Structure 1
């Protein structure tokens, strides 16, 4: 005999069932009373895994103890079409297979003959006829069992059947006892095993493991498995195989084991269900918690009544949640139910579900879940829903989900301009995990052939590539887009500005014959984007400070904020830093940063914070610079920058820590920074200058000089002459060491002074640069330290930031007045003054004027 469900697994040879005392007592009393009491008709009805077969097995054991003869049979789906299959099993168990009527006999003759065989056996010895899983009984056997049930009053017999109601198709009429002609009655009972309680689960697991079970684990197991004995048996078996103790610290294993058990049960259930129920179960698996009865009915092409009846039957599987919208308790179970479908049929089913969900206004989370598993639906609403849900996932930080949604959106047909937007969105989502893929998506935007409606996406993609530092590949792509005749004037100006911004960062990156020619920027551009880049070019060349201010203000005007690429506005902000208009630059940076944070544009936010750090350094606030750089690193970790840009934040960090007197941290900031391909970019000049300053502070004059001169070469190759950007000449002069008048150091200092005058730098910048020059000049003119040295005993001079604080202090200004004048925190003024005292070898404020020499005297 084979049984489908063998019980609750008492473990270690035990036979007692858990929380089934009432059922066992009833069976025992009925079996013990067969000799002199009534016959019995008992049906055990329950869902999969509820323990129906375990109770049948227990009845077999109790019958043996009561002296009742037992014959058993097990119906199965595979034999459900076999004529009199159950009857033949029971005849064999009775030991009288030869008493079977000829197969070609009339059914009425066969039924009557079979009934007489079993009645005769019962009259000799009380008989238990037990049939498991009668939902699979063949029609001929079921007709005979119904006849045998009507004859139960004629002999001491119990007819015990088990039935999984969810699997039964309702084609079999119920078993009914007949009227008594002998005075014997029939006791009729239906048993429905209930789920185990938490205490029952704990007891079952304790027996299974042979050790006490943590009560918290038992409660969690009861909740996870729904009190289903067979599921719990599977879980206990898996724990035993892995030697996991049933304790609270193994709850993750419990959750995984229950999920796997649900999957296995769902696979077995799906294999056994009739087609109409399986179709409904698959529809529920596809729709999930968003499936209304109407949606399920539409997917199965049945009416609402049939669907409701099917759902009610499927509730008995224990796989589904309760309520108006049934769904699977466990996603793995849903996957198992759909596994029998081929990939194409499964995708078609999901696509149909998505269409119904769209018409039913299902939320985007549910609709897109269906779309992710569906084949192409070819509808605009699908793309819109996928993009909206991707934006929501991105906002909550689930970038992986957002990327899946946008990749799926790209499978749908759409207008080129819409496809370009999706590529821009996808680039932002994958930036943190795959910067190279992010750039690839942006390049795809610029390669998309479209009409002028794609202009904003072209501008955004080009601006993001430039901002992140991918200036080499973006130039020919921008030139290709500009070659389109249908780009509108505003977008054309923005693209041209970005082209020349990239060109200045990496001159001659592509041969001019490899791309269409791009018109140069006008001398006085009216378009804000072009004005911002032109301002930066003027500032770098160190020519016409007033024109630079005017151009930068055009780019940063309120009316230009929403139409000018952030990269061009950030260039304008950097130009204002070199003109000394810090307040204007800072206000514009705040506005750019707020917009970038709202839109989630990491490269723009990161670069804005880096420029903010530059502003802090120019104003002598290295602490604020470090804070800005820390924020930039959070927004854009080092791996997110293109190699062409990566050296810049490292160099600025080194300069900030150097200004704070922390040479060791400054050394670590520039140590080993050499991204492949970065050596020819403008950002590399920042690193060379910072590394040269760090090496100079560490007494490595030769290495410092090499870095600083290379920095100068890179800058001059790009026509960057403005000493306010990176005063490499005075630093290189100091690195030359002692030299005579007219030597290289003096020439460098003289050239720096000349360029500063040409630029027309404000007093605070000009004084700082002149002080650096003076310190370097004194160092190279004499090897003997002055009585009041302008540098610390180590030979390190004051930083520009320290000088900007020390000069007004020497001239009589209070710390608070200096802080107000320089827009600097009072604490920063105090720290810079303390550092200046230490480096100059003085201890009192009154000594500052003498230590600084001419710079410390009041101007006349």
Structure 2
């Protein structure tokens, strides 16, 4: 361990040391990541404890970037404590000891904490062995809590930054303590930065995963620099902007490695101008840099080892030796030479940089390299390695010369699909087609996996498979996949045509196995119903109950069941039935289900107010998509989660998800444009930014929104919201009616699927067109009652109350507000309170109106709904209530405990006096006051006195 403590300028007697300045060239491509880290640091300095987990392979620049961030903390951080975890494991709490011992050694810390028993004696309480008691025991908890109090006490006076490098090797007790601290870090001036080396063979402690999942932890994955960032680095190094071809060649040669890029710049600066004509020089220089001329000096046997490592990599020395066909002693000496020259990683048989590996392979004649790869694949297959390990070698061999190679690729594709990596599965299958291009089974499998990431390409492969299968029963799985995937690509018309052909053929056939034909017919009947979700018609609504739904965990069965659940929810079929179907789909997890399958199950759960399982499923889908780098699935899942979080009134997280989905729009073919644009636009409306919301909707590329249910109707609802927020209620009403007509044409009767009628009734009631409103609402009410959630009934009661005059209308609105208060629909609850308050004001009951409007304000504040907050504040002012000018939230948003603490603070009591008078700890008082300041949008005690003093003098406020 190598602990250090730094402070602003080393003042107040603390030993000071500064991390070395990170090279500007190597950091030039990390501006965005730097801003993220510095932003988190500033949030932590304001009293919102934060953590950052910086991950990436060795040599990618993690530590250099963190060092630069720490330099930014000069003048901000009271102390920066750093420790590096050693490889090979360490004793319990060793990392914590390395971090916190400097506090004990500091004269200031010792003077502050020795009296009173909180403090530094906790560290001596960590014996070398037994002191790392199990954190789950009572003694372990006491140790962890004592360490927390020590750090928290120091952080009370200023920002405390804790930096743990090589955290992947940290002891579990220390990692659990960091998680323990983060769960209690609200209102702590604490910043935890963890640096994790990733890659094959690196440990991945479970406790570290728990920290990374915390809402207070930002995970920053450093990978190779893209071409744009490489260009920025080159401009920083050469002093002029490089030509695109020059930048592209540098990115290709270095693999986007910032360290290697800096070396090339150092080598070429002053010798070449970074223009297109110099691109060839870059390649030659890059090879010289990465190879370091070592390979030219290696003897033949050692060169064979270098080539075997380049082909296999990450394998044991015995396997490398076998492929190189040399003695073990020769292989050992060759590895020692390569490692001594910095070409190999120190802890495994793998080249430090891909360009080095490429330089080794480029020197091998193509024919010889193919022979070497075939031998490597055979060696791995014969030794029983997993199919995907063998497939990595096979994808680099062309043409595939043996049948077993195609079989291994198909097995590898199935494994990749099961672990939720459709792009990897597609790569294996595409390569298998080079040897067996007329295999309908491979084409169908490829179509299924591409349906999750590239629907249009998937349909092309399925069309090829359809043409290769002569019998109708064999075409059924192909048509089923075609119909499911076409929902994502915008139109199922071609799928309908194929299905009609197959159905006609099946009805005409008299095969020897009628049971198989009957099952095929039932599958197609089900799919024709389900595929109506994308075409505006279900075709045979009344026939649906007679169609037996599939069972089992097979991918096709889960696809059908999920789509049936989604269709049932849209049609308004019995809620317990569709919820049970959705739960069955998700029972086996989301990783193997595919994006549209998961979405089909999440949708009915969301409509049924089963928010926790819906969020869990879509979050698991998003996490898996991020791990696999699937832009399509990331955008789909993030958009869905944004819609769900918007509905539950978690606008901050909804905005984060919507922005992520929007940013992914340019990546990957088939990303659902309308769905993600609608998510961001809807959130922006509630942030009271309707102009920006309209711009987001206007910015969709293409002639028309997506024709899927999710895309089309979400787009229409978002457009109506933005128009209404801009004051164009007639325009909004026209769009809402379009949405309602589309739903009716499709036979979708669930009023929550796209609640166009709710806003439409409010608009009509507001202009006195109650007759039109009743005509619109009457077909909706029975379906809302039948669906039977607090949300559906509450929203219908709101609409009916708006259309009903006098006390009867008020009673309906009161019932609606009561029902919605018990649902997760926080935005609808705030809307009901607001509309009830306005109706009471119209009836002349200002006192009750103020009460309801304050409830609407409180709900809006807690949700972050600035649009509803603005409307409610205006209505409260009209009712005779007043709020402090410029305050983003009223005192009514405070809890009772916060109100008591705030009132005494406004009276001039100190925090200690407040704690004594209310029998609270000093820390609890500080937490309450911090929460009060945040809710009221003020900076300190003097403003608090003004706000609460005004409230006391004006009880109507």
**Which one has a bigger Cα radius of gyration?**
1
Q: How high is the TM-score relative to the length of structure 2?
A: 0.44
Q: How high is the TM-score relative to the length of structure 1?
A: 0.48
